[in-house]
Amino acid sequence: MTNYKITDEQWPLIVEFLRNHPGVYVGQEDECRRFVEALLWVAQTGAQWREVPKQFGKWNSVYKRYLRWFGKDIWRRMHELFAQEALSI
C-alpha cells in the first residue's frame, strides 16, 4: 500500500518551515496538511490531478495551490532543508 500520510512527528517540522517561508499562506493546519498529503498521493501514485480523491479537496484547487507554491520555489527549498536534516541524523 502506498503511504502518503504525514506522521504526527513530521507535520510540525513541515508546518514550521511553511510558516517561515515568505509568501506562503498556511491557513488552517488541518487543511494545509491535507493539501500536502494530496501532493504526496499524486507523486506516489503517478495519477493525473483530476484523479485526486475527494478526501483531499477539489483537485483543481489542489493543483492551483501546488503551482503557486512551485512558482515561489517552496518545494525545492523544502526538499533541500529536509534532505540536509536527514544527512545530519
- The model's pLDDT over 43-86, given as tens digits with 9 standing for 90+, comes to 999 999 999 999 999 999 999 999 999 999 999 999 898 888 76
Domain ranges of the chain: 11-88
Report pTM.
0.86
Instruction: Tell me what percent of the residues of the chain surpass a pLDDT of 90.
Output: 71
- Neighbouring CB atoms inside 10 A of 88's CB total 5
pLDDT at 87 over 90: no
Question: Which residues 6+ apart lie within 8 Å of 11 measured at CB?
Answer: 29, 33
